[in-house]
Structure formats: C-alpha cells, structure tokens
Structure 1
Amino acid sequence: MIKKLFANVKLVNRVAPNPSLTADELPGHIGNRRTSSWWEPIYGPDIIMSAEAYDWNLNRDAGPHRRFVPAVALSRKLNAGEIFFVRKMTFRECDFQGIFRGDPIIMFEDCQFINCDFAYSSWTGAHFKQCAFSDSSLSLASFERCEFRDCVWERLGITSRTEFIATFVSDPKAFIQATVSRTNPEDASKKHKSYQAHRLSGTRAHVLRSLILSHAAVGDEHIYYRTVRLHELQRCSARLAQNVHELVHGNVGRKFGSVLKMPFNLLDYLLMSLLGFTNAWGDSVSRPCTLLAGMFATFGLLYTFLPFKTIITHPFQKSFDITLLVGYSNQAADADKYLALLQDAHAVVAILLYTVFLSTMISKLSRAR
C-alpha cells in the first residue's frame, strides 16, 4: 500500500541529501499535509522543515526537531539479527515516511513523539514501549507485527486507512479516546462542527474493527475482548451521532429517516451494553453463571415473601424450575395476575442469561477466537 502511495503522490524536494547518503538513496519528502490537512493535529502552515533529513545519529542530541525522517536513513543503521534501540528520544514536529522494517525489531523506549506525522510510512517489527504520542497523526500509516505497550496518547489523528496487522495496543480505550478531528479554521458553523464530530465517531469504529482483527492474532485475551466492547459500542455511537447530525442539519427526508432510525439505534446501544456486561463481552463464563445463581435466589425470596393469592409451598423449587426452564408450564396461576407477571418476567430474564451462558461456554470450548 505504501509503495503505491509513493508512486501516486508528487515528490516535493523539501530536503537536501544527507552527507551519509547518496542522492539516489534519499527519497524526497512527499505530500503537503501540514499545510492542507486542517482536520489533523499536525496541521501547521507556518511550520518550516529543516533542509536536512534526519540521519538517526542518536548520540548527537536528545532528538530531531522539524526534520524529515526517511526510512532509508534508518535502514543503514540496522544490523541483521540485532535489536535497534531508541531510548529517551524526543521527536518534535517530524515527518516519518517510507518502509521501516526491523530485523528483528526496532525498539522505542520512553520516547516522545510531539506533533509528528506518520503518514506514508509503513512499520514492520517496531515496538513502542512507554512512549508518549501527543498532537501526532497515524493517518495513512500501517503497522504490521508492531506493539504499543503502556503508551500515552493525547490528541491523535487517524483515518479509516490507518492499518493494524498483527499489531498489539495494550490500552485500546485510551488510544481511541485520544483521537480528534479538528474543524476548518475558515468554517465556524455548527453544522461543520457536528459533521466533523459524527465523522470522527465513524472513523473510530472503523479503526477499532482493524484492531479487533489484529488482536485476534496477537496480544492478551482480555485485551481482545476489551477491544470488542469498544468496537461494538462505538459502532452504535457512530450511528446515533449520524442520526443527531441529520436530524439537526439534514434536509426533510434525512430528518424523517433519522427520527425512524434513532430509537432502534438507541435500543441497539442499550441492548449491547446490557448483554455485553452479562458475559464481559465474551470473556467470562463465570459471570452469567453467577447471575443465574443470583436470579434463582432473588426470585426464590420474592416467591417466599410477596403476598400472592396463590399459596406457594415450595418457592425455591418454583424458582429453580423457571430459572432452568424445566417446569415453567406447570407454574400457571389462574386469577393471580401479579404472580403470573412475576413468573413471566422471571422466564424472560432466565432465557436471556441462560442463552448468554451457553453461547459463551460453547464459544470458549468449541473454537479458537
């Protein structure tokens, strides 16, 4: 994908060759995102990059500032079979471009990336440990077999073309909540702000889906299910955000459509939240089992102490029969509508929890994630 991007984007020679590289080896800086991408946190028309590309001399200073960082410059520093460490470096207003490939890995430890742009870069075997990303953009970047462990995220730019392949992000919630989409400085209208907000919500859902597929192959089990939760709720939130935007700023047809769709999308969100909680979004078998036991005890007490017209001689046996759906047909109570309503509610909740419990158990035992 990155190679295609390099082929399709006009080269802009904004940097001069580094003495350690020949003119043929050093690619030109591509794109003009800092002057045109107003929705990105890296937007800054006044930023002027240095004329010299960064040469990855880690001993010279604490890190580059306003430098073009081509992958080919780093590749000359790598030795096959050795981990390349970058520790406590600060990359400020830098543009990373090219194919960064670790052999076996490139390890960034306790580094800071401030107002950095990763567009048109592809990373393979890069590990970021306890790094801080602030006012930076991962738009149009791809990460394969990479890791982001214990990183701090602040005001991050992403797009639907941000790709994660077999890549692990230890805190997907902090990552996705840090994403932003700025408004056009020349458009201060509420409609534009609303549009940017609902578009960001949809982009978050798209990127979270990429993270789900990525976490299905790598990382901890509980992180995978945490990402599932984030994606499902974000997907519902994106639909609701679109409904609100169209209801307020759309034409008559879109307003009418939003009125019809919004209750169902809201119901989707509520049901997903409730059902996801009952089994920790697929991670826990014990939680629905515990809820079933709690329901058995709760309804047993209700049948014991509530004043029904019908005398219930074995309240906990009744609760057991309905909870496991083995004797509900024998629990009919003519002329006692309150008892009948309670039994119906008991049966509905039992079916819900029983289904979640069995489906979670079968999913755990019969297939890999």
Structure 2
Amino acid sequence: MSGETLVQKIHAGETHKIKGLTFRECDFQGRFHVTSILIFDSCHFVGCDFAYSSWNSAHFRNCTFNASSLALASFEKCEFRGCRWERIGVSGNKTDLKRTFVENPGHLTAAMFSGLDPAKAGEREHACYQWYRLAGTRAHVLRSIMLSHATVGDEHIYFRTVQLHELQRNWARLCEDWYQLRFSRNVRKLMAIAQIPLHGLNLALIWLLGWTNSWGESVSRPSLLLAAVFAIFGTIYSFVPFTPAIGHPWQKSFDITLLIGFTNHNSAGQWPLTLVQDVHAILAVTLYTVFFSTLISKLSRTR
C-alpha cells in the first residue's frame, strides 16, 4: 500500500477515520503525511510490514498488531492508544519516533521478538546471542520512546517509560555478561565474571532508588519514607534496652533523621548502638538526598 494513494483520498482539514478493518500481510511504503488527522480505530494489522514508510499525524486507537514489523519505519506526531502487540519486529536504531505517544511501551517491548537463523536454529550459542541482542534492542526502543514522551503525552506515562528504560538498560548489560560468560573465552570471560556482580548491584540500586520517588514522579513518597525512618528508629531507641539508657530517644531520632545532630550522638565503644545509628544515618542520607533532588527537579525545570 502506497502512502501517496491514501493521501490523495483525504481532504485537507478533515478527520479521516478507518474503523474495524483488517490489514493482512500489507506492505506499507511511502509517505503517509496528511494535512488533517488520520485515525485507525479498532483495526487489525496481521503480518504487515511498515518498513520504508513515514507516518505523520496518524492515530492508532485500540488496534491490534500481530506478527508485524515496525523496523525502518518513521512516526511523527502519531499516537498509539489502547493498542495490543503480539510478536512485533522493531529495530532499535532504525525505528524513528518523533513526538509520538505510545500509551503502553512496556507491552510493546515485551511483544518484540528476534527470529533465529534457520541454519543455526538448533545452536544454543545462536539462541543466546539473539536473546541478549533482543534485550539491548528493547532498551534502545524504550530510550526512543522516552525521548519522544519528554515532549508529548502525560507525565505519568513519561515516568513509567523512564522506569522501563533504566531497568531494561541494566538488564541488557547482564544479558550480555551472561552470554560472554557462557560462550566467550579468555579475556572476555574474565571481564564478564568481574562485571556481573557490578551490573547486578547497579540494577538493584537503580530499582531501589527509583522506587523511592516513583522514578522522579513523586515527592511525597520519599518524604513519607523519611517520616517512617524517624518513627521506626525513634521506637527502637525508646524500647531497646541500650546501655547506658537513651535519655531522649525521639530527639535522637529527629537529629539523626534530619542530619542536624549526628555528631552529638557519638557512641564510641557501644557497638550495638553505633551500628543502629550508622544504619539510621545511611537510610536518612539516602532518602534526604532523593527527596531534595526530586523536589528541586520539580520546581526548577524549564516549562
């Protein structure tokens, strides 16, 4: 199907809706650039190839994409809302998204697949190679969607895309390390052994710190966690029988939580209390940093 053929049938300034049609094994090519809005509503794209097609101001609502390829396609000022994705082919660097909104980027990337070379289909190394390469492609696609969502769509979807991208990017590194560990030799295998713990720790820390402020969206969550730290450690200082007894447990918890008087509560020689205070201080510093960085980001960014 040629883009120019469709454009000729659309009048300028009119919304053109295509509803409930099934496109089976269609090859979309050319420029689908209309001067109005083109809406595909509840349509089904089965075995379709969007390679070498360019779309502008096209809206896909409640559509199903099955065994179709978006590789080498370009979408500008387009929307994908309520769409379902099954076995989708996408190229990380060759699927162009500009000011395009994808309502469920996690479902899209989860539906991406990588075919196996028929001549190597039975080889474990080839299957593992395609697996780790697919993880990297998913990260690339999520990055493109994230950059596109920075200018279009609502903030909730944007921060959700940030979460998906950061986790997928770190997961892709672990997948590559696993491949190198299984099938590489000498230096690459040694590098993989050294990098797996670091990349695993990085993934865990990114997930934990991202959760504390809902990946940059929430200011209230780190503030509530900071209040919870104050309450928990205040209770510990009040009821745990430290020696000597703590005279003002809640003031102690307040001082350490807000980092205003940690040095006034030095407990040299009392290792149980010192250990509790150190854990308290680490949690307080982490949440304090996350809270203020999120707040400053919210208040000072350019609109």
Q: Residue in 2 aligned with 1:317?
A: 251
Q: Residue in 2 aligned with 1:150?
A: 82
Overall identity of the aligned pairs, in %: 52
* 1:368 Cα deviation from its structure 2 partner: 3.5
Match of 1:264 among 198, 204, 213: 198
More deviation, 98-107/351-360: 98-107
Q: Residue in 2 aligned with 1:180?
A: 113
Match of 2:72 among 140, 154, 163: 140
1:108 aligns with 2:40: yes
Distance 1:90 1:282 in 2: 40
Distance 2:97 2:241 in 1: 59
- Tell me the SS of whatever aligns to 1:137: coil
Distance 1:104 1:358 in 2: 44
Distance 1:248 1:223 in 2: 37
Q: Residue in 2 aligned with 1:159?
A: 91
Which of the two has greater helix per residue?
2
Deviations 1:77-113 (A, max 9, x none): 1101111110000001111111101222110000000
1:77 aligns with 2:3: no
Match of 2:180 among 218, 243, 246: 246
Q: TM-score, normalised by structure 1?
A: 0.81
* 1:309 Cα deviation from its structure 2 partner: 1.1
1:358 aligns with 2:284: no
- Tell me the SS of whatever aligns to 2:88: strand
Counterpart AA for 1:162: T
Counterpart AA for 1:172: P
Question: In 2, are the aligned partners of 1:136 and 1:156 still within 8 Å (CA)?
Answer: yes
Distance 1:98 1:171 in 2: 26
Distance 2:34 2:295 in 1: 40
Please list, as runs of the form range in 1=range in 2, the aligned pairs for 1:297-336 lying within 5 A after superposition. Answer: 297-336=231-270
Question: In 2, are the aligned partners of 1:310 and 1:336 still within 8 Å (CA)?
Answer: no
- Tell me the SS of whatever aligns to 2:87: strand
Distance 2:228 2:25 in 1: 56
Deviations 1:258-304 (A, max 9, x none): 01111111111000000000000000000000000011000001111
In structure 2, runs of 5+ residues without a counterpart are none
Q: Residue in 2 aligned with 1:202?
A: 136
Q: TM-score, normalised by structure 2?
A: 0.98
* 1:158 Cα deviation from its structure 2 partner: 0.5
Deviations 1:45-76 (A, max 9, x none): xxxxxxxxxxxxxxxxxxxxxxxx11111011
Distance 2:115 2:250 in 1: 59
**Length, aligned pairs only:** 301
Q: Which runs of at least 4 in structure 1 moved beyond 4 Å after TM superposition? A: none
Question: In 2, are the aligned partners of 1:163 and 1:207 still within 8 Å (CA)?
Answer: no
